[in-house]
A = this chain, B = another copy of it.
Amino acid sequence: MIKAAVIGATGFTGALLARMLQAHPEAQPAVLTSSSFVGRRVHEVFPEIRHEAEYVAYEPSIVSEMDVAFVCYPHTQAHPVVAELRDRGVRVVDLSADFRLPAEDYPEWYGFQHPRPDLVQEAVYGLPERYQEEIRAANIVANPGCFPTGMLLAVLPLAGWLELDLVVVDSKSGVSGAGKTPSSKTHFSTVHDNFRSYTEIGHRHAAEMIGELSRAAGHKVPISFTPHLLPVDRGILSTVYCRPSAGTKIPDEAALRARYEDFYQGKPFLEVREHAPALSEVQYTNYCRVAPLVDRQAGLIKVVSAIDNLVKGASGQAVQNMNLMFGLAETLGLEGRQ
């Protein structure tokens, strides 16, 4: 049994990780830390997690005997903990943004100078459909952002196959993506029966998208990204418009779908579909569904992708990464409803 710690186990992603690890056949949530619930039993705080252990305060020493630690802290608060645990030899899956970008990009996108470029260098971007081999050997996995996960899985099969001139990413997310802290923005009366965009220019997840897509494409691709807030709890649906460079021949839909099916051959959580997926098809699961479509009139390829933001977009993908890191079947503990 893999002994796992969840650092910050009472936020949305941490609590879901605790539940998934509790049900995992080869792992157990041996340490669950919390700042606000120390001493309270898990089952009492989260009735749906049937686990009788108590939350403890975080201290590196109690984590140091773990096989793996999942760090569920906000960005800028995660990297000191990751460093501390790595220095003690614990393998880490970090759910924050602190190890996703090249070290030199942190001042621009996150407003701080990263103190541990060595660890950033060591970290592997935890998108198993792309970096499966690297993840197996990784000591630090930077679990991708929820929006980049959905977007990259929609576009990666095109990168290097067609030359792209512009990618427009129009994403719609459930409210759980905004986290658990109450604010007027997440008040029921604000969100219910409503819809809006936010951070229309310069959202930080664009940095991951630009970096990873450009790396795959071999050149920098302009990306226009707009997140929107759905009156829904879970899921991200992204409609991605990929315009090939002038002169590029646009394939027909059968060839396009064949490319996607080929690209995702053997990837257990990727489902290429003929019809655009609804959020309900993936909510509470680790699956990602993508449907690539040809819009010949406008001269572009339209891809609709759907994931659950807390599962494939966070905690489920983290477990998938753990499975790879420890030589387990990639799908272990991930096939049912989470």
Whether the Cβ atoms of B195 and A278 lie closer than 8 Å is: yes
1/0 per position for A183-209, CB-CB distance to B under 8 A? 110111111111111101110001000
Task: Assess whether A191 is in contact with B188, with CB atoms less than 8 Å apart.
Answer: yes
A249 at the interface (CB under 8 A from B): no
A176 within 8 A of B: yes
Q: Is the CB of B188 within 8 A of A293?
A: no
Q: How large is the interface on A (under 10, 10 to 19, 20 to 34, 35 or more residues)?
A: 35 or more
Contact assessment for A233 and B193 in the assembled complex, using a CB-CB cutoff below 8 Å: yes
A90 CB to nearest B CB, Å: 29
Task: Indicate if A223 sits at the interface (CB-CB under 8 A).
Answer: yes
A72 interface residue (CB < 8 Å to B): no
A180 near B186 with CB under 8 A, answer no
How far, in whole Å, are A281 and B47 apart by their CA atoms in the complex?
Answer: 6
Contacts of A293 in B (CB 8 A): 200-201
Residues of B within 8 Å of A102, CB to CB, are none
Contacting A232 at CB < 8 Å: which of B194, B228, B335?
B194
Query: Does chain B have a CB within 8 A of A304?
Result: yes
A–B complex contacts, Cβ < 8 Å, 25 sampled = A168-B168, A168-B241, A172-B195, A176-B189, A180-B184, A180-B187, A182-B186, A182-B187, A186-B188, A186-B189, A187-B187, A192-B193, A193-B233, A193-B234, A195-B230, A195-B235, A195-B279, A196-B279, A197-B304, A201-B294, A222-B298, A224-B298, A228-B237, A230-B230, A336-B336
